[in-house]
Amino acid sequence: MSERHLIRRLRRGDTEALREIYVAHKDRLLTLALSLVRDMNTAEDILHDVFVSFAAAAPELRLRTSLRRYLTTSVLNRARDGFRRKKTRDTGADALIPTGLESTGPEERASLQEQTGRLTDALAELPLEQREVITLRLNAGLKFKEIARLQNASVPTVQARYRYGIEKLRAVLDGGLER
């Protein structure tokens, strides 16, 4: 079903349309929020707040962009608001556990969780702008042009943030391998 049709149904108060939108976008948005805030409870709260606001605004909603971009921007803004209220929220390396590990053995699962923890910790060491660019590019699948609009920056600036962020991640992770 088309995005526009779902939005029209939602404006008329069709709760099934809201459910369909939620199901279509929740996993990607939760992954994005989790990558930004590093805490599952906070990420779930962000997702919940975004959809409550989205549902409340539905009767007057006039999207100027795609629904995906609108929801991604909403999650990003909620995460930024949280950073403004409290500079960091750090619950440890197990805040981001890979999914789909049911078929792996305990040793492989432990190794993947350790690697994920190291990557999560390394990502947390990056400046917020670099972390946002990397997360929006890799988790949300946004193009640099879209990220530039979200960050009110030029495309070359966003590309530089991405490149420097990736370089810092490599340096941190390579340094961790030598220990």
Cα atoms in the 13 Å half-sphere on the side-chain side of 179: 7
Q: Are residues 59 and 22 both part of a single domain?
A: yes
d(CA 48, CA 51): 5
Final residue of a structural domain among 39, 59, 87: 87
pTM of the model as a whole: 0.64
Mean pLDDT, the chain, integer = 80
Q: What is the pLDDT of residues 69-89, one digit of tens each?
A: 889 989 988 888 876 666 443
d(CA 151, CA 159): 12
128 in any annotated domain? yes
Q: Does 101 score more than 50 pLDDT?
A: no
* Percent share of the chain, pLDDT over 70: 84
Q: What is the CATH number of the domain that holds 120?
A: 1.10.10.10
Q: Are residues 61 and 143 both part of a single domain?
A: no
Q: Are the C-beta atoms of residues 47 and 26 closer than 8 Å to each other?
A: yes
Q: Are residues 82 and 123 both part of a single domain?
A: no
Q: Does 120 score more than 50 pLDDT?
A: yes
93 in any annotated domain? no
Better pLDDT: 30 or 100: 30
Q: What is the CATH number of the domain that holds 44?
A: 1.10.1740.10
74 in any annotated domain? yes
Print the domain residue range for 114: 105-179
Q: What is the pLDDT of residues 142-162, one digit of tens each?
A: 889 989 988 889 999 999 999
Q: Are residues 80 and 19 both part of a single domain?
A: yes
Q: Are the C-beta atoms of residues 48 and 74 closer than 8 Å to each other?
A: no
Q: Are the C-beta atoms of residues 2 and 90 closer than 8 Å to each other?
A: no
- Structural domains counted in the chain: 2
Mean pLDDT score, 37-46: 88
